[in-house]
């Protein structure tokens, strides 16, 4: 791992910075989760990104990418968030499904789906959680029954807590395809059309008033064999790869946290009466973001050399979520009575409160780290 940016990487950074400065939307975009209009505004911008070849920096050109590597992608992410841009509407497709498509997809699936993800034609939601299966994901009950005559599966049941599902047209979901199976066995990873007959998506309003969140009901929904990712019955393995991207570095690259720490420093500079303790808090938040970046570079080196992040993605998840919550607490402390009228930090704070819950709660991540990284015994044994 080389901590000094090469001349070529630096040139790439300046090229990205220049393009973003000249092409980013003049007005800041609202969160894509806020409303259908906000989602579509983000999507239109992400289409501009795609047309200029910046949507998927590290993907091969034939799939809609720029044909560069993970380092360049990480640099682009830093510049993207530093330019004041937020998480993408297409992030589930780009950063969760696509890495699993590259790993487990057939050539036909990759050719059909990846360009549509990069070009924001398909917008993907994630269908893991169910009313009785959250932390205990292996308790999935949504089932798919074989339909040999039609060459596919009939899906029934309910998913819940699906981010942006009310605005998306597709869903990657973990469902039970073997009715006799239990736990991690007999599950498959299906790519479901949310506009197919039998699908009902009901929005659920979040605390921050956003309606890009929802529950999904399936009533004999047809999914063809071509839309099974990985082997039938091996869905757990594929889903854990997707989850590794969610907890690890791919969805949460350092860029967004570096930008947030920098905003915090700027806020502190504009707060002349900040106490010594508040300035120390801000400094610590900034150092945490830098530490996350260097940790990320180490992981990226390992991935680039053919390794994987594995259960260590759980350490990453605890780190980024607690860092995010803390940064927002510090900002609200600095803002004091102005906190509730500063909509950016206030909404950010509300959103940050969910980070220790989604992508698997931090209690569960700590269990994983204890058992699978540190090799400690399971409780009760």
Ligand X SMILES: Cc1cc2nc3c(=O)[nH]c(=O)nc-3n(C[C@H](O)[C@H](O)[C@H](O)COP(=O)(O)OP(=O)(O)OC[C@H]3O[C@@H](n4cnc5c(N)ncnc54)[C@H](O)[C@@H]3O)c2cc1C
Which positions are catalytic?
A: 246
Give whichever of 19 and 358 is closer to ligand X, judged by the CB atom.
358
**Strand blocks (E) in 15-142:** 124-127
Among 66, 317, 360, 369, contact with ligand X (rule: CB under 6 A)? 360
Window of 9-17, 55-63, 139-147, 360-368 that interacts with ligand X by CB under 6 A:
360-368
Answer whether 256's CB lies under 8 Å from 81's CB: yes
Taking the alpha carbons at both ends of the chain, their separation in whole angstroms is 41
Q: Does 278 bind ligand X (CB under 6 A)?
A: no
Window of 42-50, 148-156, 334-342, 363-371 that interacts with ligand X by CB under 6 A:
363-371
User: What is the chain's alpha carbon radius of gyration, rounded to the nearest angstrom?
Assistant: 21
What span, in angstroms and rounded, lies between the C-alpha atoms of 128 and 173? 6
> Exposure of 295 by Cβ count < 10 A (0-12 exposed, 13-18 middle, 19+ buried)?
middle
Give whichever of 141 and 338 is closer to ligand X, judged by the CB atom.
141
Give whichever of 16 and 168 is closer to ligand X, judged by the CB atom.
168
Among 162, 253, 313, 321, contact with ligand X (rule: CB under 6 A)? 162
Measured over the CA atoms of residue 284, residue 334, residue 270 and residue 347, the dihedral's sign is positive
Q: Does 364 bind ligand X (CB under 6 A)?
A: yes
Answer whether 255's CB lies under 8 Å from 80's CB: yes
- In order of 172, 195, 316, the CA distances from 369 in angstroms are 26, 39, 10
Residue 226: count other Cβ atoms within 10 Å of its Cβ.
12
Q: Total binding residues for ligand X by CB under 6 A?
A: 17
Nearest-CB residue for ligand X: 134
Give whichever of 89 and 300 is closer to ligand X, judged by the CB atom.
89
What span, in angstroms and rounded, lies between the C-alpha atoms of 323 and 320? 5
Among 87, 134, 208, 295, contact with ligand X (rule: CB under 6 A)? 134
What span, in angstroms and rounded, lies between the C-alpha atoms of 356 and 370? 17
The answer for residues whose C-beta is within 8 angstroms of residue 159's C-beta and 6 or more apart is 127, 128, 129, 130, 142, 171, 173, 215, 216, 218
DSSP 133: B
Q: Does 127 bind ligand X (CB under 6 A)?
A: yes
Window of 63-71, 79-87, 128-136, 178-186 that interacts with ligand X by CB under 6 A:
128-136
The answer for residues whose C-beta is within 8 angstroms of residue 68's C-beta and 6 or more apart is 12, 57, 58
Give whichever of 65 and 356 is closer to ligand X, judged by the CB atom.
356
The DSSP annotation for 115-163 comes to HHHHTTSS-EEEE--BTTBSS-GGG---EEEEETTTTEEEEEEEEEEEE
Tell me how far, at minimum, the Cβ of 135 lies from ligand X, in Å.
3
Residue 110: count other Cβ atoms within 10 Å of its Cβ.
17
Q: Does 357 bind ligand X (CB under 6 A)?
A: yes
Window of 79-87, 244-252, 255-263, 359-367 that interacts with ligand X by CB under 6 A:
359-367
Give whichever of 91 and 253 is closer to ligand X, judged by the CB atom.
91
Tell me how far, at minimum, the Cβ of 367 lies from ligand X, in Å.
5
Tell me how far, at minimum, the Cβ of 375 lies from ligand X, in Å.
18
Q: Does 163 bind ligand X (CB under 6 A)?
A: yes
Give whichever of 58 and 361 is closer to ligand X, judged by the CB atom.
361
Give whichever of 85 and 137 is closer to ligand X, judged by the CB atom.
137
Tell me how far, at minimum, the Cβ of 92 lies from ligand X, in Å.
7
Strands 170-176 and 124-127: parallel
Answer whether 360's CB lies under 8 Å from 243's CB: yes
Among 12, 76, 153, 161, contact with ligand X (rule: CB under 6 A)? 161
Tell me how far, at minimum, the Cβ of 201 lies from ligand X, in Å.
12
Q: Does 100 bind ligand X (CB under 6 A)?
A: no
Window of 35-43, 124-132, 239-247, 302-310 that interacts with ligand X by CB under 6 A:
124-132
List contacts with ligand X (CB under 6 A): 126-129, 134-135, 161-163, 354, 357-358, 360-361, 363-364, 367
């Amino acid at each position: 791992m080389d901590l000094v940016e090469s001349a070529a990487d630096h040139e790439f950074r300046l090229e990205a910075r220049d393009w973003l400065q000249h092409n980013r939307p003049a007005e800041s975009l609202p969160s894509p989760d806020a409303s259908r209009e906000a989602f579509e505004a983000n999507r239109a911008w992400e289409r501009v990104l795609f047309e200029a070849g910046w949507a998927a920096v590290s993907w091969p050109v034939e799939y809609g990418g720029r044909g560069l590597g993970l380092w360049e992608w990480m640099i682009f992410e830093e510049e993207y968030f530093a330019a004041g841009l937020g998480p993408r509407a297409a992030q589930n497709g780009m950063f969760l499904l696509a890495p699993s498509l590259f790993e487990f997809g057939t050539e036909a699936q990759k050719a059909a789906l990846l360009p549509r993800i990069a070009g924001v034609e398909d917008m993907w939601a994630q269908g893991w959680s169910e009313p009785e299966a959250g932390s205990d994901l292996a308790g999935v009950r949504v089932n798919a029954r074989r339909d040999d005559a039609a060459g596919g599966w009939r899906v029934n049941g309910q998913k819940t807590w699906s981010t942006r599902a009310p605005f998306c047209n597709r869903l990657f979901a973990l469902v039970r395809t073997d009715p006799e199976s239990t736990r991690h066995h007999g599950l498959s990873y299906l790519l479901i059309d949310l506009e197919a007959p039998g699908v009902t998506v009901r929005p659920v309003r979040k605390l921050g008033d956003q309606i890009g969140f929802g529950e999904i009901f399936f009533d004999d929904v047809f999914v063809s064999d071509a839309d099974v990712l990985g082997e039938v019955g091996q869905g757990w393995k594929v889903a854990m790869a997707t989850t590794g991207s969610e907890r690890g570095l791919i969805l949460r690259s350092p860029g967004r946290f570096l930008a947030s720490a920098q905003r915090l420093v700027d806020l502190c500079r504009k707060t002349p009466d900040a106490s010594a303790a508040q300035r120390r808090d801000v400094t610590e938040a900034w150092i945490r973001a830098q530490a996350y970046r260097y940790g990320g570079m180490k992981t990226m080196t390992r991935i680039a050399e053919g390794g994987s992040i594995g259960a260590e993605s759980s350490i990453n998840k605890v780190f980024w979520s607690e860092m995010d919550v803390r940064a927002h607490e510090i900002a609200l402390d600095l803002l004091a009575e102005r906190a509730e009228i500063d909509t950016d930090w206030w909404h950010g704070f509300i959103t940050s409160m969910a980070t220790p819950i989604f992508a698997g709660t931090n209690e569960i991540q700590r269990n994983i780290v204890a058992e699978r990284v540190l090799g400690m015994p399971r409780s009760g044994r």
